[in-house]
Amino acid sequence: MLKGIHPLLGPELLHAIRTMGHGDEIVIADANFPSSTMGPKVVRADGVGAPGILEAILAHMPLDTFVDESAWRMEVVGDATAVPDICVTFQGLVKKLAGDFTVVPIERFAFYERARRAAYIVATTEFQLYGNIILKKGVVRPEELFRVDSD
């Protein structure tokens, strides 16, 4: 345990988000996602749901404000207008923790292609279907850095 670090950020996931740079992407994947065959390094988050990992990451990692889109979810196959409950949860967490970003739906195979280019995939034990989200890392500004008071 560390002070000020979300308790769901294990050592591997903390390392992953710490080594990512501006514009790098990370996938939070549900239990059905083909994480091991996508290509990027997989960080296991067994026993944890996708919303918990999303909250843990966004507690420490900003989203990219230099582009139009910084968060994506997978569209429901056969009904592109459907918004699963878990995706409503994702949108609420993004708005609460990252600001006025829209979690943009993208077609299943386009989501897979984007996931293949990610820096990391976090494999969760999320059982809700379509419990997948991709985040683009933003810039950490100097005023957001930890500082020890000098008094």
Catalytic residues: 22, 64, 112
3-state SS class at 44: strand
Q: Inter-axis angle of helices 11-19 and 50-58, to 10 degrees?
A: 50
Distance CA 103, CA 110 (A): 15
Residue type, 18: R
16 is written with which tokens? Answer: 């992953």
Q: Measuring CA to CA, which residue among 115, 123, 88 is closest to residue 102?
A: 88
Q: Please name every residue paired with 120 in a beta bridge, in sequence order, or none if there are none.
A: 26, 41
